[in-house]
Amino acid sequence: PMITFVAPDGAEYVVDARGLHSVMEAARNHMVPGIDADCGGSGSCATCHVHVDAAWAQATGAADEMEQAMLDCVEEPSATSRLSCQIRVSDALDGLVVRLPARQG
């Protein structure tokens, strides 16, 4: 599945997430800036925060309680905020678009 990361300046990073577990891994593997992922994907650092494009909010699902608690602490929360390490890659997410927060890390 192909995932598009949109930077605050409008730059787009389109990456192939095949064989990867999470959207965070896809960003890290392709050196997308702004996804530091300090905790390595355990959902405890919030440096992998993204805004899911509204059209994809349903497909990516909702944050669970633990993830939501972390999202309550991010600098720029939105209605579609997610921790990208908690978004599991699947073929259903081919074409997914997420936006990177302006300030992170």
Enumerate binding residues for ligand FES (CB under 6 A).
24, 37-39, 41, 43-48, 83, 85
- Kindly tell me which of 10 and 32 has the beta carbon lying closer to ligand FES: 32
CA separation (Å) from 43 to 9, 48, 75, 92?
26, 9, 16, 22
Q: Please, what is the minimum distance in Å from the beta carbon of residue 60 to ligand FES?
A: 14
- Kindly tell me which of 10 and 73 has the beta carbon lying closer to ligand FES: 73
Q: Are 87 and 59 within 8 A, CB to CB? A: no
First-last CA distance in the chain: 27
- Kindly tell me which of 10 and 45 has the beta carbon lying closer to ligand FES: 45
Residue nearest to ligand FES (CB): 85
Q: Are 1 and 87 within 8 A, CB to CB? A: no
